[in-house]
Structure 1
Amino acid sequence: MWPIILLAIYGGGVWYSARKADRIYSGSQRWVVSALWPVLLASNQQFRQNLRRPLNK
Structure 2
Amino acid sequence: MPLNLDQPVNLMGPNELIAYSQQGDKQYQEAEQELRKRWDSYKNLPKTEFRSILPEKRS
TM-score normalised according to structure 2 size: 0.37
TM-score normalised according to structure 1 size: 0.38
Question: Which protein is richer in helix relative to its size?
Answer: 1
